[in-house]
Amino acid sequence: MERDWKAELADYFDEHRILEKCLVETRDDFDQFCEFIAEPAFELLTREFQEYGIKTKFWKTKGRRVTFKIDFAHSGVDHFYYIIELPKNALEMQPLLRIRGRRSRRSRLVDRTFPFLPETSARELLRLDKETLIHDMIRHYRDFNFEGLSSSES
């Protein structure tokens, strides 16, 4: 028996509407994560880094990413970026973590991408405490710097 093409077309538009709604909700969830978790954590980190003579800056790109940048100590040269990024057309809150940095003031920036807190579900991310985020950022910053110190590259 043939399926009614009108019903098939109606199903398509229903599915499309649901996907569009999921995209919007995911971007809204990410914006809330940035506003209530990431930005307050980055504010705390900024104050602490100032104690060590290190300038930082953070900013948000609505619905897409939040970036925390660390300069080399007593310098205006960017050293390390901790970027939490929502993949384009994400249907659920599973951001990526992009680490970008340079080993010295004159070296080029290198990029690495990882799942962001892979052991944490999309639902749990919205209830994440800022200390967990701070610990993760410090771990990646430390690992990046220690890797550079122990590397044979200059």
Instruction: Report, as an integer, the average pLDDT of 96-121.
Output: 94
Q: How far is CA 33 from the centre of its chain?
A: 10
71 has a pLDDT exceeding 70:
yes
Residue 144: how many CB atoms within 10 A of its CB?
22
Express as a percent the part of the chain with pLDDT over 90: 79
From CA 115, how far away is CA 52, in angstroms rounded?
29
Task: Give the global pTM.
Answer: 0.88
Confidence of residue 3 (pLDDT cuts 50, 70, 90): confident
Q: For 18-68, how does the pLDDT look when each residue is reduced to its tens digit (9 = 90+)?
A: 999 999 999 999 999 999 999 999 999 999 999 999 999 999 998 799 999
C-beta of residue 88 within 8 angstroms of C-beta of residue 65 = no
From CA 143, how far away is CA 154, in angstroms rounded?
17
C-beta of residue 55 within 8 angstroms of C-beta of residue 48 = no
Query: Which of helix, strand or coil describes residue 71?
Result: strand
Q: Which of 52, 45, 48 is nearest to 72 (CA)?
A: 52
Express as a percent the part of the chain with pLDDT over 70: 96
Confidence of residue 154 (pLDDT cuts 50, 70, 90): very low
Query: Do the strands 110-115 and 65-71 form a parallel or antiparallel pair, or are they unpaired?
Result: unpaired
- Residue 151 has what pLDDT? 63
From CA 9, how far away is CA 140, in angstroms rounded?
48
Q: Which of 29, 107, 95, 23 is nearest to 65 (CA)?
A: 95
Instruction: Report, as an integer, the average pLDDT of 121-143.
Output: 95
